Amino acid sequence: MARSRTGGTNGLLSGKLGDVIYSITRNSDGSFRQQIGTNPVTRENPNTFEQARARCTMATIERAMFTFRDFVASGWEGVEKGTLSVSAFSQTNYNYLKEFLEVMFDDDSNYDVHWNLPKKGQTQPRGGNFILSQGSLRMRKQWFLDNYGGSTPWWGVRSWPMVAEPTLQNWLILNGLELGDQLVFVQFMEGQTPSKSMVTYAIVATEKTTNPNTIITNNNFRQLLTLKSNVPCNVTFDNTTKVLSIRFEMGEDYGLRCLSCSTERLRREVNGKLFYNNAELSLWSDDPVHDYGWQGMRTVRPSWLES
């Protein structure tokens, strides 16, 4: 059975779970990272086509657990935070990718690419249609997400304009939220070099104890809303339109070049239980191989078939 290692590993796993073997190794800088391997019934011919496909699948999920490490330990409705959620993230995304690669691993077209697959030995952060949460919640209102690539890449999130009485309760309802909710906007940014690619995110949340009848303004919105991000963001609230705007404008300083995929993850607590939506990263391009330099089957398969 896979067990969680505590401390600096942030809930990483070691041991066996089904046909997956987890271990924990160190990066060159001394930090920990998750490593995943297969537990095949027979090991007599490790370089068959099926084994190569399995190793590619495992390596992709290993990279995802590193890339989205801020999200792997929670987000699975009915599953405890920590070790069990890490296992759920791994198993859900493994099964999703495995099903896809069983059909597409021998496809030479480099079309229909939904994950930036790694070659053997590549360890950089990678984007794709990864699932970051599963649950029964439904997003009642999609916020506006803007982005720009090129020399000064940025992304921005905007709430809906409002004409009703601007109480906190009315503002939350308009934007598909309830008091106590947490909404996370997750973006995967492509780097100017593969190693600089990274996940950026912004959080909008409220406390259940906040007075819902308070009028929200540009003077008090920071006291009524919990606003956090892992990168510097410019946050404003327009008194006329009641639009909350969050913008990350320092992409160039971080060595980034464009946004490739994103999602919104909603969390709600009801009677002590946590509920989530189904949050899967969606691509912003129909041709990520051309637009983002993602690697498809034609590119990665030879490295996994090598002896």
| pTM of the predicted structure, to 2 decimals | 0.85
Residue keyed to tokens 């946004």:
259
Residue from 147, 205, 195 nearest 175 by CA:
205
Per-residue pLDDT of the chain (307 residues; tens, 9 = 90+): 454 444 444 555 555 555 566 666 655 555 556 666 555 544 445 568 888 889 999 999 999 999 999 999 999 999 999 999 999 999 999 999 999 988 887 777 777 899 999 999 999 999 999 999 999 999 999 999 999 887 889 999 999 999 999 999 999 999 999 999 999 999 999 999 999 999 999 999 999 999 999 999 999 999 999 999 999 999 999 999 999 999 999 999 999 999 999 999 999 999 999 999 999 999 999 999 999 999 988 889 899 988 5
Model pLDDT, residue 93: 96
Going by C-beta distance under 8 Å and a sequence separation of 6 or more, which residues neighbour residue 95? none
Residue from 85, 86, 102 nearest 34 by CA:
86
* DSSP helix/strand/coil, 286: coil
Instruction: Give CA–CA dist 54/20, Å, rounded.
Output: 10
Model pLDDT, residue 1: 42
Instruction: Give CA–CA dist 267/176, Å, rounded.
Output: 12
Instruction: Give CA–CA dist 282/70, Å, rounded.
Output: 18
How far CA 77 is from CA of 1, 41, 88, 200, 227, in Å, comes to 21, 32, 10, 23, 24
pLDDT tens-place string over residues 135-176: 999 999 999 999 988 788 999 999 999 999 999 999 999 999
Instruction: Give CA–CA dist 112/289, Å, rounded.
Output: 9
- Give the pairing type, strands 154-158 and 182-191: unpaired
Q: What is the C-alpha R_g of the chain?
A: 21
Per-domain residue ranges of the chain: 3-129+294-299, 136-277
Going by C-beta distance under 8 Å and a sequence separation of 6 or more, which residues neighbour residue 228? 202, 203, 205
Going by C-beta distance under 8 Å and a sequence separation of 6 or more, which residues neighbour residue 292? 116, 127, 190, 258, 260, 285
What are residue 100's phi and psi, to 5 degrees?
-65, -45
Instruction: Give CA–CA dist 185/140, Å, rounded.
Output: 15
Is the torsion defined by CA of 279, 284, 289, 291 positive or negative? negative
Residue from 156, 199, 200, 203 nearest 181 by CA:
203
What are residue 164's phi and psi, to 5 degrees?
-75, 175
Are the beta carbons of 202 and 229 closer than 8 angstroms? Answer: yes
Instruction: Give CA–CA dist 169/177, Å, rounded.
Output: 9
Are the beta carbons of 120 and 60 closer than 8 angstroms? Answer: no
C-beta neighbour count of 35 within 10 angstroms:
18
pLDDT tens-place string over residues 232-269: 999 999 999 999 999 999 999 999 999 999 999 999 99
